[in-house]
Amino acid sequence: MKKFIVVALLVVLVLMPVFIGCQKKAEEPAAAVVEAEPVLKVANLINGVLGDKSFFDSAAHGMDLIKAEYGDKVEVKTIEMTYDETKWEPTLLDTADEDWDIIIVGTWQMTEMLQEVAVQYPDKKFFIYDTAVDYSLGLDNVYSILFSQNEASFVAGAMAAAITTSDMPLANPEPMIGFLGGMDIPVINDFLVGYIEGAQYVNSDTKVAISYIGSFSDSAKGKEMALAQYSQGADIGFNVAGQAGLGQLDAAKDMGRYAIGVDSDQAAIFVDTDADKAALITTSVLKRVDQSLLRAVKMHLDGTAPYGKSEVLGFAEQGVGLAKNDIYKKLVPADIQTLVDDVEAKIRSGEIKVSSAFGMDSDAMNSLRNSVK
């Protein structure tokens, strides 16, 4: 009997650590499951096609900047809706039906469509650039991005007026500059108002040849109109016409005249593929759509994006500017570069106030255009 008790005790002693171990394991909490960070999905809808070397290409570059900044934390996509307007609203609706978190559109042509679609998808966030929606409709999920293109164009106009009376090799004695717009609409005329006022600031005798293509895609017509302006005596022209404005750059090369690009740094775009054309682009008025979209996504992630409001981005916010690349530094005389910097500084400080086409009635706009004929 004693032997049995001893054996039993030995068995208990041997098995006790096993029981204790099992109890401890049972008491240990399960390992926490680490959930992957949600990926922010951003879709950029282009109501046109890429390749304009200007406005829409800048928006697409904005997607590249967002991806470069946030890597695997974001998914970005640019969708070309072409210039077929019947495709725009269906594409916007289809994209809103999918799992995109932010949907981006641009230009005044998308305003009404976005106003209708944004109401139907209150859980989606929308950016619209270069125009603003009507916030009286209660669009608390839309952020509108505007640009002070009139201020940047004022600086370009001042530069153009200085160039046209300078001793630069392709300048003539006639104080005439050109402006080629895509359409006769407020946002294009906002460039024009600043351009005229900047030119008049430098030389009140400056004349401006003004044409509207009636399109943002017809580069052949843009070239035809630019050739006419150069033939009339303009020795430098400013294109604000998207892809159609590329025709002006072709005309400048053919005629041996100077040009001012728009939206993107157009000299930098052509420097490797057409150096002769690039060498005539004195500067470009930058409407930094790319930087504005990166900024908007940053604010969204920070929780500071001003949905339900519009915002105007100027020099201070890096929304607009002038391209001061190597061609500019080599081509534009030092005294004119100093003038450009001085005018820009005065706009930044508020010493120079630039008028806007927004809110200007047709009579006032026509009067301004007629004053520089």
C-beta neighbour count of 270 within 10 angstroms: 22
**Based on the domain organization, do 212 and 142 belong to the same domain?**
no
Q: Please, what is the Cα angle at 184 between 181 and 190, to 5 degrees?
A: 75
In-domain check, residue 257:
yes
In-domain check, residue 224:
yes
**Based on the domain organization, do 230 and 358 belong to the same domain?**
yes
Q: Please, what is the Cα angle at 84 between 82 and 86, to 5 degrees?
A: 125
CA distance 86 to 170: 45
In-domain check, residue 32:
no
pLDDT at 22: 47
**Based on the domain organization, do 99 and 158 belong to the same domain?**
no
What phi and psi, each to the nearest 5 degrees, are found at residue 45? -100, 120
Residue (of 175, 179, 174) closest to 202 by Cα position: 175
Q: Please, what is the Cα angle at 30 between 28 and 36, to 5 degrees?
A: 150
What's the CATH number where 168 sits? 3.40.50.2300
**Based on the domain organization, do 128 and 224 belong to the same domain?**
no
**Based on the domain organization, do 110 and 171 belong to the same domain?**
no
In-domain check, residue 154:
yes
CA distance 342 to 136: 40
Q: Tens of pLDDT along 110-132?
A: 999 999 999 999 999 999 999 99
C-beta neighbour count of 373 within 10 angstroms: 8
**Based on the domain organization, do 183 and 258 belong to the same domain?**
yes
**Based on the domain organization, do 143 and 155 belong to the same domain?**
no
**Based on the domain organization, do 164 and 248 belong to the same domain?**
yes
In the chain, the number of structural domains is 2
**Based on the domain organization, do 53 and 183 belong to the same domain?**
no
Domain that holds residue 255: 149-287+333-371
Residue (of 316, 259, 311, 320) closest to 285 by Cα position: 320
pLDDT at 322: 98
C-beta neighbour count of 172 within 10 angstroms: 13
One DSSP character per residue, 198-262 reads HHHHH-TT-EEEEEE-S-SS-HHHHHHHHHHHHHHT-SEEEEESGGGGHHHHHHHHHHT-EEEEE
CA distance 299 to 179: 36
- The answer to whether 279 touches 256, Cβ cutoff 8 Å, is no
pLDDT at 301: 97
In-domain check, residue 65:
yes
**Based on the domain organization, do 348 and 267 belong to the same domain?**
yes
CA distance 70 to 68: 6
pLDDT at 1: 44
In-domain check, residue 343:
yes
Which mean pLDDT values do the consecutive 10-residue runs of the chain (373 residues) have?
A: 42 45 51 73 97 91 98 98 97 98 97 98 98 96 98 99 98 97 97 99 98 97 98 98 96 98 94 97 97 98 98 93 98 98 97 96 97 97
In-domain check, residue 230:
yes
And the tokens for 141?
């999920």
- The answer to whether 279 touches 252, Cβ cutoff 8 Å, is no
